[in-house]
Amino acid sequence: MTAPAAALAAAVRSGERSAVSVAEEHLAAIDAVDGELHAFLTVLAEQARADAAAVDAAVGAGGDPGPLAGVPVAVKDNLCTRGVPTTCSSRILEHWRPPYDATVVGRLRAAGAVVVGKTNLDEFAMGSSTENSAFGPTRNPYDPSRVPGGSSGGSAVAVAAGLATLALGSDTGGSIRQPAALCGVVGMKPTYGTVSRYGLVAFASSLDQIGPFACSVADAALLYDVIGGHDPMDSTSLDRPAPDSAAAVGQGVEGLRIGLLTEFVEGVDAPVVAAVRAGADALAAAGAAVEEVSVPQLRYGLPAYYLIAPAEASSNLARYDGVRYGLRVDAADVEAMNRATREAGFGPEVKRRIMLGTYALSAGYYDAYYGQAQKVRTLIIDAFEDAYRRFDVLIGATTPSTAFPIGAKVDDPLAMYLSDVCTIPSNLAGHPAMSVPFGADDAGLPIGVQVLAPALGETTMLRVSGALEAAAPVLGAPVVGATR
Partner 1 sequence: MSEWEAVIGLEVHCELRTATKLFCGCRNAFGDEPNTNVCPVCLGLPGSLPVLNAAAVDYAMRIGSALHCEIRPSIFHRKNYFYPDMPKDYQISQYDEPINVDGRLELPDGSLVQIVRAHLEEDTGKTSHMGGGGRIHDAAHALVDYNRAGVPLVEIVSAPDIRSAAQARAYAAELRAILVATGASDGRMEEGSMRVDANVSVRRVGDTAFGTRCEVKNLNSLRSLGRAIEYEIERQIALLEAGDTVVQQTRHWDEGKGQTVALRSKEEAFDYRYFPEPDLVPLAPDAAWQARVAAALGPMPAERRRRVGALFGEEAATGARADQIATVTEHGLDELVLAATEAGVDPALALARTANEASADAERARQLAPDAYVALLKMEQGGALSATQAKAVLAELLAEGGDPAEIAKAKGFEALETDSLAGVVADVVAACPDEWSRYAGGEDKLAQFFIGQVMKATQGKANGKAVVEELRRLRG
Q: How far is the CB of 316 from partner 1 (least distance, A)?
A: 8
Q: How far is the CB of 208 from partner 1 (least distance, A)?
A: 9
Q: Give the one residue of 14, 145, 362, 378 binding partner 1; rule: CB under 8 A.
A: 362
Q: Does 57 bind partner 1 (CB under 8 A)?
A: no
Q: How far is the CB of 428 from partner 1 (least distance, A)?
A: 13
Q: Does 270 bind partner 1 (CB under 8 A)?
A: no
Catalytic residue among 18, 152, 175, 216: 175
Residue whose CB is less far from partner 1, 318 or 443: 318
Q: Does 324 bind partner 1 (CB under 8 A)?
A: yes
Q: Give the one residue of 202, 215, 276, 475 binding partner 1; rule: CB under 8 A.
A: 202
Asked about 196 being catalytic, the answer comes back as no
Residue whose CB is less far from partner 1, 205 or 262: 205
Number of residues that bind partner 1 (CB under 8 A): 43
Q: Does 376 bind partner 1 (CB under 8 A)?
A: no
Residue whose CB is less far from partner 1, 79 or 397: 79
Whether the Cβ atoms of residue 434 and residue 450 lie closer than 8 Å to each other: yes
Q: Does 401 bind partner 1 (CB under 8 A)?
A: no
Q: How far is the CB of 151 from partner 1 (least distance, A)?
A: 16
Single out the segment in contact with partner 1 by CB under 8 A; choices: 49-57, 107-115, 125-133, 322-330.
322-330
Asked about 151 being catalytic, the answer comes back as yes
Q: Does 429 bind partner 1 (CB under 8 A)?
A: no
Q: Does 455 bind partner 1 (CB under 8 A)?
A: no
Query: What CA–CA distance (Å, rounded) separates 78 from 133?
Result: 12
Q: Give the one residue of 102, 168, 280, 383 binding partner 1; rule: CB under 8 A.
A: 102
Residue whose CB is less far from partner 1, 197 or 463: 197
Q: Does 321 bind partner 1 (CB under 8 A)?
A: yes
Q: Give the one residue of 86, 152, 178, 427 binding partner 1; rule: CB under 8 A.
A: 86
Q: Does 203 bind partner 1 (CB under 8 A)?
A: no
Asked about 76 being catalytic, the answer comes back as yes
Whether the Cβ atoms of residue 49 and residue 20 lie closer than 8 Å to each other: yes
Residue whose CB is less far from partner 1, 210 or 215: 210
Q: Does 232 bind partner 1 (CB under 8 A)?
A: yes
Angle in degrees, CA 12, 16, 17, rounded to 5: 55
> Closest Cα partner for 446 from 161, 36, 110?
161
Residue whose CB is less far from partner 1, 188 or 309: 309
- Interface positions with partner 1 (CB under 8 A): 79-80, 86, 88, 93, 96, 98-100, 102, 197-202, 204-206, 232-236, 311-312, 314-315, 318-319, 321, 323-325, 334-335, 338, 358, 361-363, 366, 370
**Which residues are catalytic, by number?**
76, 151, 175
